[in-house]
Amino acid sequence: MTAPEAPRHPTPPHPLAEDVARAVSAATVKGGSTAELEGIVRAYARALKTAEVPPEQALKRVKDVVRTPPPTHAPATPAERLSDAVVTWFVAEYYRVD
């Protein structure tokens, strides 16, 4: 009897909720920095791409982890602008050519 074959590309673990919460909090305060959140998003996007998660599924996972708000037709709030930045960072990293 042979052991079952392990998945070739396991899905990477998502970032820790407390790290994401801290980074989102830092990014949404006046004068705050988005650097930590950008690093988290880019690292997770790279890990998902390496695991061969299709881009639309990978973006959904990133949004679920960061919990970006849905778009509205009203003027953009700071949280919505942050949501746009998350998508921009994801796309830049996922489609990055090295």
pLDDT in tens, 2-59: 556 655 556 788 899 999 999 988 988 888 899 999 999 999 999 999 999 999 999 9
CA atoms within 13 A on the CB side of 87: 11
CA atoms within 13 A on the CB side of 63: 18
5 domain residue, yes or no: no
24 domain residue, yes or no: yes
Mean predicted lDDT score pLDDT of the chain: 86
Q: What is the pLDDT of residues 53-93, one digit of tens each?
A: 999 999 999 999 998 766 667 777 777 788 889 999 999 99
4 domain residue, yes or no: no
* pLDDT at residue number 37: 95
33 domain residue, yes or no: yes
22 domain residue, yes or no: yes
Q: DSSP secondary structure string, 17-47?
A: HHHHHHHHHHHHSTT---HHHHHHHHHHHHH
* pLDDT at residue number 3: 58
How many structural domains comprise the chain?
A: 1
12 domain residue, yes or no: no
From residue 17, how far is each of 4, 20, 30, 35, 58 by CA, in Å?
32, 5, 22, 17, 17
* Residue 36 belongs to domain spanning: 17-94
* pLDDT at residue number 69: 63
